[in-house]
């Protein structure tokens, strides 16, 4: 059994690749590309693009080791029966969830904007979790997949750091999963939120998880 040890905060992190899954959260066109939901909220979507190359490097190394790779997408059914009114009608964006956008209806499953960006598109056989909320465990079969594969550790990246990534890591922590977060594989529309979120993960002896950088994980997997 191969184990890997990665320099991390608050302390080095050791994991078995065969009991570890890489979870890439919500790297969707609606959040990252111009004209999507993220931009409609007034955000600078270019800030999220910084996570693409580190995620690509992480995925390449993980796939070479035969690790389980899982992707998530936030979005809703076409009839929007799974979209709470409090979520849809929050704030005053230019367009809301379900409205028509340049890439189809905003955050609706099956629309072009809901899908994962081409640079990080899942390979055949990699599970894609469609989730109606911020957390990847809420109203999904993610936990069932992880338990069936005897996964105990998650390496988590994606967007945004303070929302869907943080919510998912907190959910995972409460379910007994250990989480390693390569900070450069995550991104936010707000640089301050990103930085503070990473500190929160590792605070109080890794209260939610361990924080590292993608090159540290890649190096550990390749040696």
The catalytic residue among 30, 131, 184, 186 is: 131
- Specify whether 119 is catalytic: no
Q: What CA–CA distances, in Å, run from 220 to 15, 172, 193, 216?
A: 10, 23, 28, 6
- Specify whether 26 is catalytic: yes
Spatial distance between the Cα atoms of 127 and 199, rounded to a whole number of angstroms: 29
The catalytic residue among 26, 30, 115, 130 is: 26
- Specify whether 164 is catalytic: yes
Estimate to the nearest angstrom the gap between the alpha carbon of 57 and the chain centroid.
15
Spatial distance between the Cα atoms of 187 and 66, rounded to a whole number of angstroms: 26
Helix axes 214-222, 52-64, angle to 10 degrees: 20
Question: Rg of the Cα trace of the chain?
Answer: 17
Angle at 51 between CA 46 and CA 53, to 5 degrees: 110
Scanning the chain, the segments in alpha helix (DSSP H) are 29-32, 37-40, 52-64, 85-88, 142-148, 166-174, 191-206, 214-222
Query: Locate tokens 């999507």: which residue?
Result: 36
The catalytic residue among 4, 164, 179, 185 is: 164
Q: Mind telling me the catalytic residues?
A: 26, 131, 164
């Amino acid at each position: 059994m191969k184990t890997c040890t990665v320099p991390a905060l608050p302390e080095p992190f050791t994991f078995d690749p065969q009991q570890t899954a890489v979870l890439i959260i919500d790297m969707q066109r609606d959040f990252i590309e111009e004209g999507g939901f993220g931009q409609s909220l007034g955000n600078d979507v270019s800030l999220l693009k910084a996570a693409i190359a580190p995620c690509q490097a992480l995925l390449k190394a993980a796939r070479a080791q035969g690790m389980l790779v899982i992707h998530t997408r936030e979005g809703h059914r076409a009839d929007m029966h799974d979209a709470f009114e409090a979520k849809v009608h929050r704030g005053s964006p230019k367009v809301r969830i379900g409205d028509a956008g340049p890439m189809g209806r905003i955050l609706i499953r099956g629309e072009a904007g809901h899908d994962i960006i081409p640079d990080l598109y899942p390979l055949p056989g990699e599970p894609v979790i469609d989730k109606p909320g911020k957390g990847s465990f809420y109203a999904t079969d993610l936990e069932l997949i992880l338990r069936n594969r005897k996964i105990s550790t998650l390496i988590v990246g994606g967007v945004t750091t303070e929302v869907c990534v943080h919510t998912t890591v907190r959910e995972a922590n409460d379910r007994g999963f250990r989480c390693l977060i390569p900070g450069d594989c995550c991104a936010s529309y707000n640089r301050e939120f990103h930085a503070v979120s990473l500190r929160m993960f590792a605070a109080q002896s890794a209260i939610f998880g361990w924080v590292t950088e993608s090159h540290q994980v890649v190096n550990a997997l390749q040696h």
